[in-house]
Structure 1
């Protein structure tokens, strides 16, 4: 009979080996991904029976080669120690472009060629060229549309959220969520001001920012973040850190938000009271804070709820949806999160779901806890949003005890 402890040891060793292999693979991903993103569409669009004239083949190959070489160099220069914004813009744009061209070369070009071959439309060269032109046309449209979607002021998404423990006095409480503004290399100070103007039209009781304010330090992105100081709320403006703050001197962002009149909820809570009823509004640092090495930073739900009456409903701000497991175990009623961007550029959505329990919208976790995941207000990196529109969210909290509408 096998000893139980030996079985556990064997399972632990196997799991450790699997994680080690995954870590090794992730280490090589920055080298593998650019090669795949540029060489696969190059081969599919130029060298699979199209028989383009030599100048066309040469020019197309040169463009793909420039992308393959230029993208990682620009991204390293833009996001590395030098952090040169012009290089970041070039690298991020090339990354988004290559992702869209790669995706549609595979999901449109290959099936279209098969369909043309099965139906006998044209000869092999005609089928190959038709597929290539279709891919180039689709990617041009998607990149143009995706750029406009990324740069526009987000539409307001409104929904009612019923919380069974919410008292009647708090029925109709208006909570506005903005998140993942990602102020960065592209100067979006005017966009930031227009977002804040839109938020102010919503007459919020509580405005929440669930992190990833910017890519860069508070000192560097101050001008873009400054309009956040104009946001209005009848009760409070609250903020929690996201993972990108921990790439860019997180304490500087906490201090700037405090200076702009927002209340950083770093593992603490405040009380929102109305009509004799109370809502606990709590916040935690991002889960990456624990490994950031920054003194005093880490996600601690127990600390955030310390001293709160357990009979009062809890609204929790946590940047990443994956924190919802801890939230459900802690009896949280509603968690607000961002981080996923709704995938930002399809089909990256499917990769996000590997890491997070929710992509966008309202979901239930456990018997009590609801999670609302925003698709984000801004964008990260590539200035495109494809099938993942940005949003400013208005959540109207509803109590089951409220009187019926006449």
Structure 2
């Protein structure tokens, strides 16, 4: 059986520095910081008071006001808005019935509708009632974003949700890649979504894994991550399907690698073994060597342990070539969006290839002597990129790496 090449034909995002793809490109180019005071809930009792919050978000401006919109959580509506942009970008609005029948959706998720559920639970505690009302919670499951996307756009292909912590969005894209390669779908909507909410904010504050100011990936004075929120969506198609409908092709998804540290619930394997294994697997799946990678979009959370691990893993995989590859963290601009992170960073990787630039690592003021990588600290750079590696290293040692490449037409394609 012929293994299909898989290409990117649409992109969509909502995040702390942009409400759409053109805004996102401009903000990445100029190194905009979207980190600021969190206003979605009271942060007065926490170590940190900042986050990569999506401000001024009103899904009613984009989506038709309906009963289904009222049932969407903030996480759901960010995902549906980003999906609508990606489908429009791919020339698929309105989508024909015969296309929808062969299109699936795979999402990475995390907190789901927790932001909406928290005040319901608080009111229950204050009321002294004997029983917690279950009905309000049912509409806000972690899988509801995929459900809403499928229902809103009448998609009848494969549908599922991944929850592998901070690698969820990348894992969803990897699974969509496999489904198309295997002929299980012709087109997939895939990505991730995540809201800011108190339970997540409190948990990371309790772990002392957040920076009281803002995250500074790979900086000597880094103290931890900054939490963020948002959604990132890619439209993936088989090359055959994309060419048949004369779609614009932005990039090609070349490979995916997945591994587990099998080490600790939160701490990464300090040797970088798990991360290196995922990178090796992604490169092998893509059929390329380490020397063929032009840029690495790092996991780059700015926690001391995670940054050290990723630096070690990159050295393990790339050897002498490691110091010659630009390695930047866009979490410095939008925060760590957890279940959406790998997806938004995949969108970033596609933009970097299409637009010919490398996003910077901002807030990098004090070089760390243990980090000898080129972390792109002085602003975005123009660059011709043919292959980009995007790393996602999650709690529990759930590692997923993606390789995105420039689409090159071959004789067989013509």
TM-score (norm 2): 0.26
Higher relative contact order (CA 8 A, sep 6+): 2
> Higher Cα Rg: structure 1 or 2?
1
